Amino acid sequence: MFPVKLLILRAIPSVPVGQYFPLARSLTCGVTRLSKKAEQLENEEPAADELPVTFVDDDAESTEAREARKAALRNKSRLLPQHRNMLHGVLPYEQSQSWIHETVKYKRMMLGRYGIDGSRVDPRVCFPTKKEAYEKAEYERVAFPFTLKQMMDANETARKTRKAEIEAREADVARKLEKLDQWTSDLNARIAKKEAEARAAKERKDRLVEEVRRHFGFKVDPRDERFQEMLALKEREDRKKVKEAKRKEKEEKMMEKLQKKTAQLESDAQVPSEQTK
């Protein structure tokens, strides 16, 4: 029974007797109510989870419940149970919570992470079934049809082919570098020929313009129609002269070739006659 602290009454001043009796009755009723409240609290047995740890009777609860209560009191992280299990290296879920937890891939992952005892998974799930083994063998047969020796030979052949191509390319580059000087000289000759032809054409044009001016005997605007007509006539005549000169040069070359060929035939004909004699 809880101790009841009685109120210490101060010295009551002298009052008439008729006023003292109501005061005494009120004090007596208050003491009686406090005594009944203390008896009621003593008879009630509060639950262990509603009382502080210091007021819990260890003999009244089981060992498992006490350990669970202590674990709950020690858990100050406010993590979810599955996350706290993962933090302490324990299987997250005691029971499957989703269809994913029943897949072979998830079970293999749990077995590899927590071991046989910690994951409670049959280790036989790590080995492929007959169907899986057949499908894998069929895939390897189609994806990798060649043996290791065949692949090594093919790699060696490809390496030799690449080496031969590189060597051929290097030889071609070296051969072209040898001809670089000749090509440079030929290019310079072609450029010089083009420049000479351009200069000759300009000189011919200037010459024709000067001839047209001498024909008229006075200075004429090159944009004048008469000047343009006469210039065109002079150009046609000049082209005829150039064409005639080229024809004569070609005839001379042909005649020279014929003469050389005739002389060669005559010399060939004289050799058998001398041998006959």
Judgement on whether residues 125 and 150 belong to the same structural domain of the protein = no
Give the amino acid at 133: A
Domain presence at residue 123: yes
Give the amino acid at 125: V
In angstroms, the CA 112 to CA 253 distance is 97
55-103, pLDDT tens digit by residue? 455 555 688 888 888 878 888 888 888 998 898 889 999 888 999 999 9
Nearest partner of 91 among 99, 79, 83, judged by Cα: 83
127-177, pLDDT tens digit by residue? 988 999 999 999 999 998 998 899 999 999 999 999 999 999 999 999 999
User: What is the average pLDDT value for the chain, to the nearest integer?
Assistant: 79
In angstroms, the CA 35 to CA 3 distance is 9
Q: What are the φ and ψ backbone dihedral angles of 59, each rounded to 5 degrees?
A: -75, -20
Judgement on whether residues 79 and 119 belong to the same structural domain of the protein = yes
Judgement on whether residues 129 and 175 belong to the same structural domain of the protein = no
* Contact (CB, 8 A) for 249 and 226: no
Nearest partner of 155 among 163, 12, 10, 58, judged by Cα: 163
Share of the chain above pLDDT 70, in %: 75
Determine the structural domain holding residue 193 and report its residue range.
Answer: 146-199
Judgement on whether residues 139 and 120 belong to the same structural domain of the protein = yes
Judgement on whether residues 133 and 68 belong to the same structural domain of the protein = yes
Domain presence at residue 95: yes
Judgement on whether residues 74 and 129 belong to the same structural domain of the protein = yes
Domain presence at residue 171: yes
Number of domains in the chain: 2
Judgement on whether residues 116 and 179 belong to the same structural domain of the protein = no
> Under DSSP, is residue 184 helix (H, G, I), strand (E, B) or coil?
helix
Domain finish residue from 199, 233, 263: 199
Query: Helices 180-216 and 225-276 meet at what angle, rounded to 10?
Result: 130
* Contact (CB, 8 A) for 104 and 129: no
Judgement on whether residues 134 and 152 belong to the same structural domain of the protein = no
Alpha helices in 60-147 (DSSP H): 63-74, 81-87, 104-119, 130-143
Judgement on whether residues 129 and 159 belong to the same structural domain of the protein = no
Whether 27 shows a pLDDT value over 90: the answer reads no
In angstroms, the CA 1 to CA 230 distance is 150
pLDDT band at 31 (very low <50, low <70, confident <90, very high): low
Domain presence at residue 169: yes
Domain finish residue from 157, 181, 199: 199
- Burial class of 253 by CB neighbour count within 10 A (0 to 12, 13 to 18, 19+): exposed
Which tokens sit at 70?
């202590």
182-215, pLDDT tens digit by residue? 999 999 999 999 999 898 888 877 777 777 777 7
Domain presence at residue 54: no
Enclosing H/E stretch for 265 = helix 225-276
Judgement on whether residues 138 and 69 belong to the same structural domain of the protein = yes
Judgement on whether residues 123 and 156 belong to the same structural domain of the protein = no
Q: Note every long-range contact of 5-12, with CB atoms under 8 Å and residues 24 or more positions apart, other chains counting.
A: 6/31
Domain presence at residue 101: yes
* pLDDT computed for residue 1 by the predictor: 42
Contacts of 59 (CB under 8 A, 6+ apart): none
* pLDDT computed for residue 6 by the predictor: 44
Phi-psi region of 56 (alpha: psi -120 to 50; beta: other; left: phi over 0): beta
Judgement on whether residues 153 and 137 belong to the same structural domain of the protein = no
* Contact (CB, 8 A) for 227 and 221: yes
Domain presence at residue 129: yes
Domain presence at residue 154: yes
Neighbours of 101 (CB within 10 A): 13
* pLDDT computed for residue 203 by the predictor: 82
